[in-house]
C-alpha cells in the first residue's frame, strides 16, 4: 500500500514498507538476545544452585551418615543402609545447618529454634559412632525420632511377658514411659530388668543416654520404633529449677559384625560386676519353699522340706524361706504362731549343713508395727507435696514403700536385715519387687529423681552387703551389683508367655543387657491355679522334666516343686542333671564368670555369637551357647522326643559321641532326644 504525502502535484511519494520491514527483521534478534540472556542467567543460577546443592549435600554428610531435613541414614563400609532414623517432631531448616570438624549442627526447624547436632566419633578402626542430640528450647515440646527396624533383627531393651528372640513387635503402641514394671501383674508393660540399649544383626547398636526422659512406642505396619523424650503426661521430671525442655540424645555405633559391636558397647556403656558371687551358688541348687507351700509355710513344713532334700540325696547351696514367715508385711521377725521356736529351727538347719536365706520386699503394710515408726521418721516415699506418705497397692495388700533415696531410710532397712542375719545366722536375702510400677504415678522422694527407674537402682543397691548369695528380680543400671538376677515368676506352661519357651529368649535378653549371673526362676514354674499345665496342683510331668533339663545348663539351678512330688524316675532324672550341672556346666560357668568382671561378655550366648554372618543363627530362639564351646538344644514342645537342631560351622561332638566336622552350618532334622535327655554339643 502506498501513502500520498501532501505537497502538490509534484509532491514526494514516501514508501513506508521498507521501514516496517526493517523493524520486523530486527525484533526476532532482540527477542533471541533477551531469551539467550535469560538462559545464560538461568544456567548460571542453576549452576550456582547445583554447586550450592553439592556443597550442602557434602555439608550434610559426615563419614557414613547422610542427613536430610526429615532424618538421616547410616551406611556400612560396603555402602548398604544399616540404620535409618526419621524425625517426627519437626523438620530441620537445612539453611541453619553448618559443619565444623566432625560436628554437624542445625539451629532451627521450619518453625522454631532448637539445638541439634550429630558428632562423628571413631573410637577404633572397626567401629564408627555418631553422637546425636535434639534439644528443644521451648518447654513441653515432645521430641520424637522413629527408627526403622526392617533392615535387620533386633535384640535388647527389656524383658517382657511374651518374650521372643529376636524382638518380635506386633500392633501399635504410642510411646509410653520406658520404666521397670512387674510384668506378671502388668503383662503389657516393660519388665523389671531394663536398659535403653538395642543391638541389630547388621552390626548396629543404639544406646539412649540415661538423662533422657525416655518413652518407647512402635508401629508394626510402618516397621518403626518410636524413641520419644517428654515431660508432660509423664513420670519423668526435669532437674530441680530447670524448665521442662525435652532432649533426646543417644549414640549409634556401627561395627564389622554383631558380636564385636556388642562387645564394644558393653565395655563402653555398661557397669561391670566387681566380683563373682559365691561358687556354691553356681555349683549346687537353691531350694525355695514358694511353689510348693506358697504362704502356708511354717516351721514344721520348712524342717520337713530340708529333711526331704537330704533324704533324697540332693545337694543344697541355699534353702530359701519365702513368703510368708512374718505376721504382717513390713515386720522383720517371725510369726510366733507359725514359727514357735525360730532360733532352735535355724540352729538345727545349720547343724545339718543348710544355709538359709529369707524373702524380703520394700513394702510396709499399714497394719505392720513398723508403719507408724516409718511415718514419724519420714522413711516412706511421699505424695507430690512431700507432706504425707503415699499409700500403694501391691500383691499382698496396701501399705507404703520405703524411700531408698533417703539415707536414713536405707540405713533403717539395712539395719533390719543385719539384725535378722545376726539373730538367726541367715546367709542372705531374696530381694523381691523393686519395680517402678509400684510407685504412685506422682510421688516425691527425699533425694529428687528425674528417672523413676533410678528407684529400682537404689533398691538393688540394698543387696550389695549380701551379694555373695543375694537374689534380685529387678535391675536398672545395676550390672555392677554382683548377685544373681532372677527373671519374673514363670507360669507352669509350655508357651512364650511366661512359660518354658520364654526362658531362653529371656535369659539371652538379660545377657545382652549386661546381667550375667542369672537365676532362671524355679524349675517347673510356680504352679499357680489356672496357670498350670498339669493336674494334682503340679506342673505337667513332662513339662517339669524338660524344664529341669534346661535349667541344668543355666548358671544356677533353683528347685521349688521338689522332684519327689512326682515319682522315683523323676527323682533319678533330677539327680542325673544336678550332677551334670556340677560336673560339666559349673566349671565353664565359673571360668566365664571370672571374665565377666573384666569384659561384661555374656555367659549364656546366642548362636550368632560364633556365627556372625549366618542369617539363620540370628533367628534361633531355642538353642544357646555357654561360652563358645558348649551348645545346648533342649526339647521345648510337649509330646516330642526329637527336635531339629542347627549346628554352626565347626568341629562338634554330641553328648552321644557323634562327631560333626563341618565347613558350613548343618541342620539335623528330627534328631532323637529321649524324655530323660537334652541335646548338647561340645566344640572339639
For residues 256, 262, 265, 270, the Cα torsion angle rounded to the nearest 10 degrees is -170
Position 390 in a domain = no
> What's the pLDDT score for residue 612?
93
Q: Is residue 156 part of a domain?
A: yes
Paired with 402 in beta bridges are 380
CATH number at residue 230: 2.60.40
Q: Is residue 253 part of a domain?
A: yes
Express each pLDDT in 591-630 by its tens digit.
Answer: 999 999 999 999 999 999 999 989 999 999 999 999 999 9
For residue 66, being part of any structural domain is answered with yes
Q: Specify if 260 maps to a domain.
A: yes
Q: Does residue 124 form part of some domain? A: yes
pLDDT tens digits, 254-277: 999 999 999 999 999 999 999 999
What's the angle, vertex CA 20, arms to CA 15 and CA 21, rounded to 5? 100
For residue 63, the model assigns a pLDDT of 78
C-alpha cell of residue 422: 545376726
Grid cell listed for 549 = 533339663
Q: Which residue has the cell 535434639?
A: 134
pLDDT of res. 46: 52
End-to-end CA distance of the chain: 112
Q: In 513-624, which residue ranges form alpha helices assigned H by DSSP?
A: 541-551, 568-580, 586-599
Q: Does residue 166 register a pLDDT over 80?
A: yes
Mean pLDDT, residues 423-442: 96
H helix count then E strand count, the chain: 13, 36
> For residue 258, what pLDDT is reported?
97
Using a pLDDT cut of 70, give the percent of the chain over it.
91
- Domain range for residue 193? 61-269
Q: Which residues contact 172 (CB under 8 A, 6 or more apart)?
A: 217, 218, 219, 220, 221
Phi first, then psi, for residue 303 (nearest 5°) are: -65, -40
Is residue 11 pLDDT above 50, yes or no?
Answer: no
Q: What is the pLDDT of residue 2?
A: 32
Q: What is the per-residue pLDDT for 7?
A: 41
Question: Global pTM?
Answer: 0.91
Q: What is the pLDDT of residue 537?
A: 84
> How many independent structural domains does the chain possess?
1
Look at residue 400 in the predicted model and tell me its pLDDT: 98
Amino acid at each position: 500500500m502506498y501513502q500520498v504525502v501532501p505537497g502538490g502535484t509534484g509532491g514526494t511519494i514516501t514508501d513506508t514498507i521498507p521501514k516496517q520491514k526493517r523493524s520486523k527483521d530486527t525484533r526476532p534478534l532482540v527477542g533471541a538476545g533477551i531469551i539467550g540472556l535469560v538462559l545464560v542467567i538461568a544456567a548460571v543460577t542453576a549452576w550456582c544452585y547445583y554447586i550450592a546443592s553439592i556443597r550442602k549435600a557434602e555439608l550434610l554428610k559426615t563419614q557414613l551418615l547422610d542427613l536430610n531435613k526429615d532424618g538421616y541414614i547410616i551406611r556400612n563400609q560396603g555402602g548398604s543402609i544399616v540404620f535409618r532414623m526419621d524425625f517426627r517432631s519437626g523438620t530441620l531448616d537445612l539453611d541453619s545447618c553448618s559443619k565444623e570438624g566432625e560436628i554437624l549442627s542445625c539451629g532451627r526447624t521450619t518453625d522454631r529454634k532448637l539445638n541439634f547436632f550429630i558428632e562423628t566419633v571413631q573410637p577404633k578402626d572397626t567401629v564408627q559412632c555418631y553422637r546425636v542430640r535434639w534439644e528443644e528450647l521451648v518447654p513441653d515440646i515432645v521430641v520424637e525420632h522413629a527408627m526403622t527396624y526392617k533392615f535387620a533383627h533386633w535384640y535388647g531393651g527389656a524383658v517382657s511377658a511374651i518374650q521372643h528372640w529376636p524382638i518380635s513387635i506386633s500392633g501399635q503402641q504410642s510411646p509410653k514411659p520406658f520404666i521397670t514394671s512387674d510384668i506378671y501383674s502388668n503383662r503389657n508393660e516393660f519388665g523389671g530388668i531394663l536398659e535403653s540399649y538395642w543391638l541389630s544383626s547388621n552390626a548396629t547398636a543404639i544406646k539412649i543416654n540415661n538423662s533422657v526422659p525416655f518413652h518407647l512406642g512402635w508401629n508394626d505396619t510402618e516397621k518403626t520404633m518410636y524413641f520419644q523424650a517428654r515431660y508432660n503426661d509423664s513420670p519423668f521430671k526435669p532437674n530441680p529449677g530447670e524448665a521442662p525442655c525435652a532432649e533426646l540424645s543417644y549414640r549409634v555405633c556401627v561395627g564389622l559384625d554383631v558380636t564385636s559391636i556388642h562387645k564394644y558397647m558393653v565395655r563402653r556403656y555398661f557397669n561391670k560386676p566387681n566380683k563373682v558371687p559365691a561358687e556354691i551358688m553356681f555349683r549346687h541348687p537353691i531350694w525355695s519353699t514358694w511353689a510348693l507351700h506358697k504362704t502356708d509355710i511354717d516351721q514344721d513344713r520348712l524342717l520337713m522340706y530340708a529333711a526331704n532334700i537330704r533324704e533324697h540325696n540332693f545337694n543344697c547351696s541355699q534353702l530359701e524361706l519365702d513368703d510368708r514367715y512374718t505376721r504382717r508385711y513390713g515386720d522383720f521377725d517371725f510369726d510366733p504362731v507359725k514359727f514357735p521356736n525360730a532360733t532352735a529351727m535355724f540352729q538345727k538347719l545349720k547343724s545339718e549343713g543348710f544355709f538359709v536365706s529369707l524373702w524380703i520386699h520394700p513394702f510396709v503394710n499399714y497394719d505392720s508395727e513398723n508403719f507408724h515408726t516409718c511415718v514419724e521418721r519420714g522413711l516412706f516415699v511421699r505424695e507430690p507435696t512431700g507432706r504425707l506418705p503415699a499409700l500403694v497397692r501391691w500383691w499382698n495388700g496396701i501399705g507404703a514403700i520405703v524411700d531408698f533415696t533417703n539415707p536414713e531410710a536405707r540405713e533403717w532397712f539395712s539395719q533390719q536385715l543385719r539384725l535378722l542375719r545376726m539373730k538367726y545366722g541367715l546367709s542372705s536375702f531374696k530381694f523381691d519387687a523393686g519395680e517402678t510400677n509400684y510407685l504412685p504415678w506422682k510421688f516425691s522422694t527425699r533425694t529428687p529423681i528425674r528417672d523413676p527407674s533410678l528407684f529400682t537402682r537404689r533398691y538393688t543397691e540394698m543387696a550389695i552387703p549380701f551379694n555373695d548369695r543375694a537374689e534380685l528380680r529387678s535391675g536398672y543400671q545395676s550390672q555392677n551389683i554382683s548377685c544373681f538376677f532372677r527373671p519374673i515368676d514363670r507360669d507352669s506352661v509350655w508357651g512364650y508367655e511366661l512359660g518354658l519357651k520364654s526362658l531362653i529368649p529371656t535369659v539371652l535378653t538379660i545377657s545382652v543387657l549386661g546381667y550375667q549371673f542369672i537365676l532362671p526362676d524355679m524349675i517347673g514354674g510356680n504352679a499357680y491355679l489356672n496357670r498350670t499345665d498339669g493336674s494334682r496342683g503340679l506342673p505337667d510331668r513332662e513339662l517339669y522334666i524338660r524344664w529341669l533339663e534346661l535349667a541344668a545348663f543355666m548358671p544356677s539351678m533353683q528347685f521349688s516343686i521338689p522332684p519327689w512330688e512326682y515319682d522315683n524316675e523323676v527323682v533319678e532324672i533330677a539327680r542325673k542333671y544336678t550332677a551334670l550341672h556340677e560336673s560339666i556346666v559349673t566349671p565353664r560357668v565359673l571360668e566365664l564368670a571370672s571374665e565377666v568382671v573384666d569384659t561384661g561378655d555374656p555367659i549364656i550366648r546366642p548362636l550368632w555369637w560364633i556365627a556372625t554372618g549366618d542369617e539363620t543363627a540370628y533367628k534361633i530362639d531355642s538353642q544357646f551357647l555357654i561360652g563358645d564351646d558348649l551348645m545346648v538344644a533342649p526339647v521345648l514342645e510337649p509330646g516330642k522326643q526329637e527336635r531339629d537342631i542347627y549346628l554352626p560351622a565347626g568341629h562338634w561332638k554330641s553328648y552321644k559321641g557323634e562327631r560333626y566336622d563341618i565347613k558350613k552350618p548343618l541342620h539335623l532334622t528330627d534328631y532323637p532326644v529321649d524324655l530323660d535327655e537334652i541335646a548338647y554339643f561340645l566344640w572339639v
